[in-house]
Amino acid sequence: MGGWAIAVHGGAGVDPNLPLERQEEAKQLLTRCLNLGISALRSNVPAIDVVELVVRELETDPLFNSGRGSALTEKGTVEMEASIMDGPKRRCGAVSGLTTVKNPISLARLVMDKSPHSYIAFSGAEEFARQQGVEVVDNEYFVTPDNVGMLKLAKEANTILFDYRIPNSGYETCGSGVESPLQMNGLPISVYAPETVGCVVVDREGRCAAATSTGGLMNKMTGRIGDSPLIGAGTYACELCGVSCTGEGEAIIRGTLAREVAAVMEYKNLKLHDAVDFVIKHRLDEGKAGLIAVSNTGEVACGFNCNGMFRACATEDGFMEVAIWE
């Protein structure tokens, strides 16, 4: 085995005019979460526990689109989703439509560990959360002033808004003010930027794990489910690797993006970096997305086909990177 490795992401598709202070805040949060994971790995905490630990931290901070700070539906409410997968036996758990669960990733873990199912959604997931005694809060806890403002802008533009983090002042200089060729299921959208958080880990025993959590799209239809809770699309882990995706959910779903990384490693005998490059180039059609991945030999890789992805990664041999742009 090649030692432990970890990668964290805070979303792909970063607006090129995102203010420098916002970029610095994102880097600081990514660094804090990365160091949290590194500390756990140095203490021989299993990979599956590390990914849950790191994503919980990301969900608790309102900077990115998961947990507190989640994007709002067209009705101004929050509907969160998450999934987690343990590579050695391909055990998994996923949840969607959460409105009161403080840490969706931990409920996904409980679905994996404490239920006979792999995926529970909406009222059933909320009921399961109360049966398991997880912390719940009012829906208002997840709603931030920034997101209220962004929902207003999205409704005024009559669009699904990806970049819920563009500040209200100076909005005209950001993504919606430039031409964007991006379409979702053939329909144009005006802004594309960060959404979703995730973490992938391989521990010293070569065990891979992955976890992904999101609030989805700003101004999305109620009941919309993206790639993040879908095993094989937004999240996947097996004996070979662990993968977490971010970006245009509909494109990630169509390409079964996370599973494709493992598939080309297995069937084409590609190394992790080559597998990530292949999948980003050949499995997204016209969609925009990114992903982070680790292999059971201690490799770490990131890939995206948009202009940026909030990411951080480290390996046991001393490599460490925190970045946004290419």
Q: Dump pLDDT digits (tens) for 255-271.
A: 999 999 999 999 999 99
pLDDT, tens digit, 9 for 90 and up, residues 189-205? 444 334 699 999 999 99
What does the pLDDT read at residue 1? 64
Cβ neighbours of residue 28 closer than 8 Å, sequence gap 6 or more: none
pLDDT reported for residue 78: 95
d(CA 264, CA 311): 23
- How far apart (Å, rounded) are the C-alpha atoms in residues 166 and 164? 6
123 Cα distance to chain centroid? 23
Residue 12 phi/psi, 5° resolution? -110, 150
Q: Is residue 148 part of a domain?
A: no
Query: How far is residue 252's CA from residue 227's CA, in Å, rounded to a whole number?
Result: 6
Backbone angles phi and psi of 67, in degrees to 5:
55, -135
Q: Give residue 310's region: left, alpha or beta (phi > 0; psi -120 to 50).
A: beta
Are the C-beta atoms of residues 43 and 66 closer than 8 Å to each other?
no
Residue 161 lies in a domain: no
Q: Which residues of 193-220 are buried (b: 16+ CB within 10 A; e: fewer)?
A: bbbbbbbbbbbbebbbbbbbbbbbbbbb
Residues forming the annotated binding site for substrate? 224-227, 246-249
Please indicate, yes or no, if residue 171 is contained in any of the structural domains: no
For residue 173, being part of any structural domain is answered with no
pLDDT recorded at residue 286: 87
Q: Is the dihedral of CA 261, 266, 270, 273 positive or negative?
A: positive
Q: Is residue 288 part of a domain?
A: yes
Which residues are annotated as catalytic? 196
205-246 confidence digits (pLDDT tens): 999 999 999 999 888 899 999 999 999 999 999 999 999 999
Asked if residue 48 belongs to a domain, the reply is yes
Q: For residue 9, give the nearest of 271, 283, 306 by alpha carbon.
A: 306
pLDDT value at position 275?
A: 98
In a domain, 165, yes or no: no
Residue 237 sits in a domain of what CATH number?
3.60.20.30
pLDDT value at position 160? Answer: 65
Structural domain for 133, as ranges: 5-141+191-323
pLDDT tens digit string along 77-94?
Answer: 999 999 999 999 999 999
Q: Looking at the domain assignment, is residue 175 inside a domain?
A: no
Q: To the nearest whole percent, how much of the chain has pLDDT over 90? A: 78
Residue ranges of the chain with per-residue pLDDT less than 70? 1, 159-195
Residue 54: the pLDDT is: 98
* pLDDT for 159: 66
Number of domains in the chain: 1
Give the per-residue SS3 of the chain: CCCCEEEEEEEECCCCCCCHHHHHHHHHHHHHHHHHHHHHHHCCCCHHHHHHHHHHHHHHCCCCCCCCCCCCECCCCCCEEEEEEECCCCEEEEEEEECCECCHHHHHHHHHHHCCCCEEEHHHHHHHHHHHCCCECCHHHHCCHHHHHHHHHHHHHCCCECCCCCCCCCHHHCHHHCCCCCEECCEECCECCCCCEEEEEECCCCCEEEEEEECCCECECCCCCCCCCCECCCEEECCCEEEEEEECHHHHHHCCHHHHHHHHHHHCCCCHHHHHHHHHHHCCCCCCEEEEEEECCCCEEEEECCCCEEEEEEECCCCEEEECCC
Q: How many CB atoms lie within 10 A of CB 75?
A: 12
